[in-house]
Structure 1
Amino acid sequence: MTIHHPNSEGPPTSAHDGAADTGANTGASVDSAHVGDIVGALGRIRRDDRDSRRTWRRKLRTLLVIMGPGLIVMVGDNDAGGVATYSDAGQNYGMKLVWTLALLIPVLYVNQEMVVRLGAVSGVGHARLIFQRFGRFWGAFSVGDLFLVNSLTIVTEFIGVALALNYFGVPQKVSVPLAAVLLFAVVAGGSFRRWERFLFGLIAVNIVMFPMALMAHPSAGESARGLVPQFAGGLDSTLLLLIVSIVGTTVAPWQLFFQQSNVVDKRITPRWMKYEKADLWIGIAVVMIGAVAIMATSAFVFKDTDLFGQFSDAGGVASGLKQHGSHALGALFAIVLLDASLVGANAVSLATAYTLGDTFGRRHSLHWKLSEAKLFYVGYAVLIGISATIMLSSDAHTQGLITQWVQALAGVLLPSATVFLVLLCNDKPVLGPWVNTLRQNIVAGAIVWSLVLLSLALTAATFFHSITATQYETGFAVGAGLGVVGGGVIAAVTRRGARKAELARAAAAFDGIDSEQVTAIDNTPLTRAERKALRDADRAEWRTPHLDSLERPVFSPLRKAGLLTLRAYLLIAVILVCYAVFHGGN
C-alpha cells in the first residue's frame, strides 16, 4: 500500500476504494479520493483545518476555495437548451414570462440545498443513496430517467456548439468533434483543480451578457411588469409547454446528481456547509441574471419587427440579432451560446459519469487519473461520443424538436426526482440531526405539488384544446386548496413524530433523569434557543455511518402506492409531452 501525502492533490492509492476511513469523521464514503484536503481552483483547505474564521477577509478567502459546485451547477443550468428556451420566451412573449424565473428561485435553492446537505453529511453521491436506501427497483428507475434525459441534453449542447460556431462560419463537422475532444481532454487530466479552473474560465465569459443586454436597449419598466404573473395571449398548450420547458431548463434533475457528487468530490464536509450554501446563492444570482439578460435581448431587439413571435432556434436568434441589431450583438449572443453549451455539456456529462460510478460501485472522481478510474472516464467519453454522433446525424428540424423535448421532459420528470430527494432528507439513519425541518418539508412539498399541477395542466391542454384561461386558473386554485389540506394533515403527523424525537433527545441530555422529570419535560415545550442548542450539539460531529450498516427503510403500503401512482402518471405525462412537442413541430 502506498501512503499518500496529505498535501498532494491526487487521491491515495490502495488495494480498493474502500480503503478510505469510514465512520464519524468521513461519513459513508467508499472512494478514497473523496477524503482529504479541499483542493479548489482558488486555493486549498487542509483536511485537519480547525481554525476559526473571524474576519471578513478570512471568510472571503475560505469562500473562494469552497466555491465551485453551486456556481458550476447553476451556470451549467443556463446551457444551450436554456439559452434557446429563454430566447424563445423573449422573442415570442416579450418580458411577460419573467415571473416564471422569479418563482423558480426558491425552487432552485430548496432543491440544491438538500443535495448539498446530503453530500456533505453522507460523503456519497445521490444515486448511491437511492440504491442503498430504496433498493434496485427504484434506483433503476431514477438512474434510467437520468441517463435518458442527460444523453439527449448533451445532444442539445452540441447543437448549441454547432449553431454558435456556424455564426462565425465554422461547419458543424469541424466544430462538434473539436468540442468533444476539448471536453474530454479537460476532464481526463486527473486533476480536480485544473478542471475547476477551466470551468471558472468559461464562467467568466458570462460577463459578455451585460453589454449584450444593454445593446438591446431594455426597458426597466416593461421588465419589472413581467414580474407580475400573467398568461400572455391566453393560457394554451403552446404557452404551457414553454412554461414547463422554462421549469425543466432552470431546475433540471441532473443538477441534483451533479451537485451532490461534486460536493463529495471536492471533499466538502458539514464544517464548510455554510460556505457551500453561499456558493449556491452566488450561482443562483448568476443564472437568474443571465436568464433575464437572454430573455431581454431577444424581447427588445425583436419587438415590433417581423421576427417577433417567430422563434426558430438559437442560431436563428443570433442571425436575427445581427439583422435587427448589429453584427457585434449577434456575435455576443453566439459567444454566450457557445460558452453555455460547453459548460452544460461538461456538467451534464460529469453528472452521468458520477452516477455510473455510484451505480456500479467503481471509482468516480476527478482526482483519479484515467488509468485509475477507467469506468468513470470511459463512460464520460462514450456519452460525449454518442451524443456528438446523434447531433451530426440529425437534420435541423429534428434538432429543434430534441431541444424542445428535452427541456419539457426534464420539467415533467422533476417531481419524481424531488420526491426521492425529500424522502432522503427525512431519512434519520442517513442524516441524523441534519434531516429536514418541518418548515423545509412544507416548502419542498409545496414545490413538488406545484410541479405536479403544472404537469396536469399540460396534460389537460394536450387533450382538451378548448379549455379557457379561466378554467385553468380555477383548476390551479382547486389544486392549491387540495395541496394545503393534504399538506396540513401530513405536517400534523410529522410534527407529532418530530416532537417525540426531540423530547427523547432532551431527556437523554440529563443525567440521572427519572420518570417524573421525563413527564415534566414532556409537558414543557423547548424554547427556540434550547431547540437550536440541541440541534447544533447533535450536528457538530454527525456523519452518516457506512450505508451497509444501516437497515433499509420499510415503505408503508400508502407510501409505496403513492410512489407507484406518481411513476405511472409521469410515464403518461412523458408520452403526452412527446405528443405535444412532435405534434406541434409537425
Structure 2
Amino acid sequence: MALRLLKALKGLLGNVGPGFITGAADDDPSGIATYAQTGAIFGYGQLWLVWFTGPFMIVIQQMCGRIGMVTGKGLAGVILEHYSRRLLYVTVSLLVIANTINIGADLGAMASSAQMLLGLPFLFWLIFITGSVIALEIFVPYRTYSRILKYLALTLFSYVLTALVVRLDWKVVFHATLVPHFEFSADYLFNIVAILGTTISPYLFFWQASQEVEEEIVNGQISDMGIGKPRVTQWGVTEMDGDTVVGMFFSQVIMFFIIVTTAATLHAGGVTKIQTASQAAEALRPLAGDLAYLLFAAGIIGTGLLAVPVLAGASAYAVAETAGLKEGLGKKLGWAPGFYAVIAASTMIGMSLNWLGINPIRALYYAAALNGLAAVPVMALVIIIANRKDFMGQFVNSKASNVLGWIIVLIMALAGVALIFNLVTGK
C-alpha cells in the first residue's frame, strides 16, 4: 500500500512543472510570518483575501510563464532587449534588495526553528543551512534539483495537518472566507499590502519566466537561454497554464490554513504579537498541543529550503541577464561562474543580516510590504510585454487576462500609496 502511494506521488510530481514550484515557493517563511501575523492580529478578519488574491496571482504568473516560453528569455532579458536600461536597472535593483532581505529573514527563521526543535546554537544552524542551500543550488544537476524542490513543496502540508489538529468552528471560518470584512486603520491596510506583497511577489515573476526556459532547454526546444526561438505549441502553453493554476491554488490553500490555524489559536488565546519564529510555534503548544507546535516549526524549515534557492535564483537570473553573463541552473559552475556567484553572494549577504540584531519575523513582515510596493511597476511591465504581438505572436494576452491584470496593478498601487500617505501623515 505504502509503495503504491509512493509511486502515485512520484507520478503526480512528475507531471507538475515550474508553475507548481513557483506556487509552493510563494509560501516561504515570509509568507508564513505574514499569514501567521494576519491570523494572530485580525483573527478571521482577512480570510476573505484568499479568494481575492488567487485569480490575480494566477493571471500574472501565467503571463510570466508565457513570456519565458515564447521568447526563450527570462524577464530581465526581454526588458533589456526591448526597453530602456534605466528601467531595467531600477527594476532589478528593487528585486535584488527585496530578495536579499527576504533571504536573510528566511534563513533566520529557519535557524531559529531548527534550534528550537533540535538544539545546538542558532549560529550553527544559520551557517549550516546557508552552506547547504548554496551547495545544493550550485552542485546538484538541474533535473535532480527540480525534483528536490517538488518534494520540498510537500512540507507545506504540515500547515494543513496543523489546522486539522486544532478545533475549529467551520461555520465561522466559512462565513469569514466568503463575506469580506473591512477596518479603516493603518494596521489593517498595512497587513493587506503585506499579504498582497508576499502573495504576488516580483521574485516569482522572474523565477517562473526563467524556469520555463530551463524546461525548454531540457526538452530540446532551445539550445540555451536567449539563443534562438523556441518551438512553442498551443498545447504546451495550455499545459503551462494548467500547471500554474495548480501551483497557485496550492499556494492559496496553504495561506488559508495558516491564517485559520493562528486565528483559532493565537488570536483566540490573546497572542496578537509574534516576535520570533520560535514564538509563533511555541505559542501553539499550550493552545493546540505538541503536534501542532512541531508541525508548524518543521514547516518553516521545509518551506525555507524550497524558497531561499528560488529567491537567490531569481536574483541571479535577473542580474546575469542584465550584465550579459551566462546563466542557468542547468549549467555547471565553470560554465556560468557569474550566475552562481550572485546566488552565493545574495545568500551569504542575507545570512549576515541576522548578525545586525534585526528581528527575523518583523523583517519578513516588512519585506512582504516592500514586495507589495515593488510589484506594481514590474506587473505593469509584464502586462505590456505580454500584449506585444511582435514577439508574443498568437500567445498575447486575452481580454480577460488584461482586465484582471490591470485591476490588480491598480489595487496594489492604490494600497501602496494609501499606506505611504498614512505612514507619512498619520491620517
Q: Which has the higher contact order (CA 8 A, sep 6+)?
A: 2
Query: Paired residue for 1:67, among 6, 9, 16?
Result: 16
Deviation at 1:290, TM superposition (A): 0.9
Match of 1:348 in 2: 311
2:248 to 263, 280, 284: 284
Q: Is the 8 A contact 1:117 1:270 kept in 2?
A: no
Distance 1:197 1:94 in 2: 36
Q: Give the Cα–Cα distance (whole angstroms) in 2 for the partners of residues 129 and 97 of structure 1.
A: 36
1:108 and 2:57 aligned: yes
CA distance in 2 between counterparts of 1:332 and 1:190 reads: 28
Identify if the C-alpha distance between structure 1 residues 119 and 444 changes in structure 2 by more than 3 Å, giving closer, same or farther.
same
d(CA) in 2 for partners of 1:455, 1:87? 21
- Map 1:75-114 onto structure 2 (within 5 A): 75-114=24-63
Q: Deviations over 1:202-246 (max 9, x none)?
A: 112223223211111122111112221112xx3211111111101
Instruction: Quote how far apart the aligned CAs of 1:389 are.
Output: 1.5
Q: How does 1:351-430 map to 2 (within 5 A)?
A: 351-391=314-354, 393-397=355-359, 399-430=360-391
- The aligned counterpart of 1:295 is 259
What letter is aligned with 2:263?
A
1:529-568 pair list within 5 angstroms: none
Per the alignment, residue 259 of structure 1 pairs with 208
Matched, 1:209 2:209: no
Matched, 1:270 2:220: no
Alignment correspondent of 2:292: 329
Q: Cα distance, 1:109 vs. partner? A: 0.8
Which residue of structure 1 lines up, in the alignment, with residue 172 of structure 2? 222
Aligned to 2:75: 126
Letter in 2 for 1:197: R
1:98 aligned counterpart, secondary structure: coil
Q: Distance in 2 between matches of 1:190 and 1:365?
A: 12
Could you tell me which residue of structure 2 aligns to residue 198 of structure 1?
148
| Aligned AA (2:274) | F
Residue in structure 2 matched with residue 558 of structure 1 by the alignment: none
- Determine if contact 2:111/2:129 at 8 Å carries over to the other structure: no
2:132 maps to amino acid:
L
CA contact (8 A) 2:13 2:150 kept: no
- Secondary structure class of the residue paired with 1:158: helix
Write the distance in 1 (CA, Å) between the matches of 2:267 and 2:407: 36
| 1:330 counterpart letter in structure 2 | Y
| SS of residue matched to 2:82 | helix
AA aligned to 1:211 is: L
Indicate the residue corresponding to 1:561 in structure 2: none
CA contact (8 A) 2:109 2:276 kept: no
Amino acid paired to 2:148: F
Structure 2 length-normalised TM: 0.90
* Whole-angstrom distance in 2 between the partners of 1:190 and 1:376: 15
Contact preservation (8 Å) 2:274, 2:361: no
Whichever residue aligns with residue 129 of structure 2, its letter is: A
CA RMSD of aligned residues (A): 2.1
Answer yes or no: is the 8 Å Cα contact 1:157–1:345 preserved in 2. Answer: yes
Alpha-carbon shift at residue 415 of structure 1 (Å):
1.1
Shift of 1:275: 1.5
Q: Is contact 1:187–1:366 with CA below 8 Å preserved after alignment?
A: yes
Q: Larger Rg: 1 or 2?
A: 1
After superposition, residues 135-284 of structure 1 pair within 5 angstroms as: 135-168=84-117, 169-189=119-139, 191-227=141-177, 228-231=179-182, 234-267=183-216, 270-271=232-233, 272-284=236-248
Letter in 2 for 1:229: P
Q: Aligned in 2, Cα 1:187/1:400: closer, same or farther, shift over 3 Å?
A: closer
Partners of 1:87 and 1:314 within 8 A in 2: no
- What is the alpha-carbon distance in structure 1 between the residues aligned to residue 17 and residue 380 of structure 2? 26
Percent pairwise identity: 24
Report the Cα distance in structure 1 between the residues aligned to 2:15 and 2:69, rounded to whole angstroms: 12
Q: Could you tell me how far apart the structure 2 residues matched to 1:384 and 1:291 are?
A: 25
- Contact conserved, 2:69 with 2:232, CA < 8 A, in 1? yes
CA distance in structure 2 between the aligned counterparts of 1:163 and 1:222, rounded to whole angstroms: 33
Query: Aligned residues, how many?
Result: 404
Higher fraction of helix: 2
State the distance in 1 between where 2:362 and 2:287 align. 26
Give 2:224's aligned residue.
Answer: none
The equivalent residue for 1:519 is: none
- Paired residues of 1:216 and 1:296 also in contact (CA < 8 A): no
Q: Is the 8 A contact 1:186 1:198 kept in 2?
A: no
Distance in 2, Cα, partners of 1:314 & 1:86: 13
TM superposition shift of 1:416: 0.6
Report Cα offsets for 1:364-402 as digits up to 9, x if no partner: 1122111111111121111111111122x12254x3442
Out of 453, 462, 476, the residue aligned to residue 414 of structure 2 is 453
What is the DSSP-based 3-state SS (H/G/I as helix, E as strand, rest coil) of the residue aligned with 2:48? Answer: helix
Would you say 1:443 and 2:404 are equivalent positions? yes
CA-to-partner distance for each residue in 1:397-445, whole Å, 9 max, x for gaps?
A: 4x34422221101001111111110111122222122222333222211
Task: Check the 8 A contact 2:157/2:254 in 1, yes or no.
Answer: no
Contact in 2 for aligned 1:190/1:367 (Cα 8 Å): no
Contact 2:326 2:339 in 1 (8 A): yes
Aligned match of 1:525: none
What is the aligned partner in structure 1 of residue 227 from structure 2?
none
Deviation at 1:265, TM superposition (A): 0.8
Matched position secondary structure for 1:124: coil
**Displaced runs of 4 or more, over 3 A:** 63-66, 463-466
What is the one-letter code of the residue matched to 2:141? S
Residue 187 of structure 1: how far off its partner (Å): 1.4
1:190 is displaced (CA, Å) by 5.2
State the 1:170 CA deviation: 3.4
- Superposition deviation, residue 287 in structure 1: 0.8
